[in-house]
Amino acid sequence: MSRLLPRAIREGGHTFTFLTRDLHHYLRAAPEGAAHPLLSARHVLTADTNDSGTLLPFAERAHASLEFDGVITSCDYYLPAAAGIAARLGLPGPAPAAVRNACRKDATRRVLAEAGVPGPRFAVCRDPAEALRAARDIGLPLVLKPVDLCAGMFVRRIDDETGLTEAYRALADFPVNARGQRRDPAVLLEEFLHGPEVSVETVTSGGRTQVVGVTDKSIGGAPAFVETGHMFPAPLTGPDDRAARETAVAAVEALGLDAVVAHTEIKLTPEGPRVVEVNPRPAGNRITELVRHVTGIDIAAACVNVALGREPDLRPRATGLHSAAIGFLVPGTGGVLDRIDGDDEVGAAPGVLELSLAAPGTRVGATGSNNDYLGHVMAGDADGPGARDRVESLIARLRPRVAAR
């Protein structure tokens, strides 16, 4: 979204100011010879975005000079800060408390349970002994999650007590997140849910939540949960589609979220839908682009309009595609990427919408989260729900060559 939101802002006829604590992060992230889209800002301001005590007064002073109309972020770790700034400046935006609860997996679980929105049995643990007791109560297998990370980092399936101890220790050795914020050491243990997983893309404005559509997903990398692909729309039966939509809307409303685009993940279990998590921001992994290719609805633009207090345009239109899918190239071993064979063949294949691959020389880690991809392929199907099969066939033709470090 850090690349899609600047585009949506520009196409909407707006300009933006970029506020960051580490400008060099974005200078490094751009491909050679290109600038990161966030650096197309009219103004770039530097402040400690991790310190609300200084951030809010800084934003007030900047607002007095630049007169902002809205506040938006592309980063999970700064969603509460963006909501706090909007509230402080009197600009449109979701309630900060609602965003904090949605961003904290343990708080989400408590709020949804109190509201009767279905989810897994869970426990919040603050030391290994407590985690072992909770695991015996919930029963194995179960899922261990950090309460305040994203992209599937350190989320693990636990099949025995040894695995629980190892996963707990690995998470404890990661005390600071990727944005330099001190983590809460609490661990969330959840009942393992069986069934396919989908996400529901919604836009809430003026107290009304509209469902844009339902996306399916494929998961790999066990015992981690790495998203290996998505397809829009999810090929669901009518009852499953309705159940997923209704459950997502209930979750968004229970959290008190308004003026927000949300991405709610749901497991369709034999006992009915269960909420996995609610993300108060647009979907990542280019799901928003799958939606745009099939429906013409631009969720990034909707996010911009909601941040400005405007009614977004969510009217679908014909695009010539019935389905669109994305598949991710997941590394099998660690090392340094030498090349990826098959890229020319895949890039020339019919129906390909996007092909993006890591450059030679990229350091490759063992797959543990959605941050470890070597690239992706996106393709569409004009006739039916065949986009996933097409993408999986294309991904199989890509052969990474990784040299030992």
pLDDT tens per residue, range 383-404: 999 999 999 999 999 999 999 8
Domain residue extents for the chain: 4-91, 120-191, 194-319, 322-405
Element (H, E) at 106: helix 105-115
Closest CA to 19 of 80, 74, 87: 74
Q: How does pLDDT run across 176-217, given as a tens digit for each residue?
A: 998 999 999 999 999 999 999 999 999 999 999 999 999 999
CB atoms within 10 A of CB 339: 15
The one-letter amino acid code at 178 reads: A
**Per-residue pLDDT at 275:** 98
Question: What's the whole-number average pLDDT of the chain?
Answer: 95
CA distance 291 to 44: 31
**Per-residue pLDDT at 260:** 97
**Per-residue pLDDT at 313:** 95
Strand duo 352-357 + 260-269: pairing? unpaired
CB atoms within 10 A of CB 367: 21
Is the pLDDT score of 380 beyond 70?
A: yes
CA distance 152 to 156: 9
Angle between helices 52-66 and 79-89 (to 10 degrees): 50
Is the pLDDT score of 32 beyond 80?
A: no
The dotted CATH code for 120-191 is 3.30.1490.20
- Which CATH superfamily is 322-405 part of? ATP-grasp fold, B domain (3.30.470.20)
The top-level CATH class assigned to 194-319 is alpha beta
Task: Tell me the average pLDDT across 263-282.
Answer: 98
- Asked whether the beta carbons of 94 and 257 are under 8 A apart, the reply is yes
Fold that domain 4-91 belongs to in CATH? Rossmann fold (3.40.50)
**Per-residue pLDDT at 35:** 83
Percent of the chain scoring above 90 in pLDDT: 89
Please tell me if the domain spanning 4-91 has the same topology as the one spanning 322-405: no
Dihedral Cα 109, 114, 116, 122, nearest 10 deg: 30
- Residue 191's φ and ψ, nearest 5 degrees, are -55, 135
Per-position b or e across 134-172, b if 16+ CB within 10 A of its CB:
bbeebeeebbbbbbbbbbbbbbbbbeeeebbeebbeebe
Closest CA to 327 of 288, 359, 287: 287
Cβ-based neighbours of 143, under 8 Å, separated by 6 or more: 120, 155, 156, 157, 158, 189, 190, 191, 192, 193, 225
Angle between helices 96-103 and 79-89 (to 10 degrees): 180
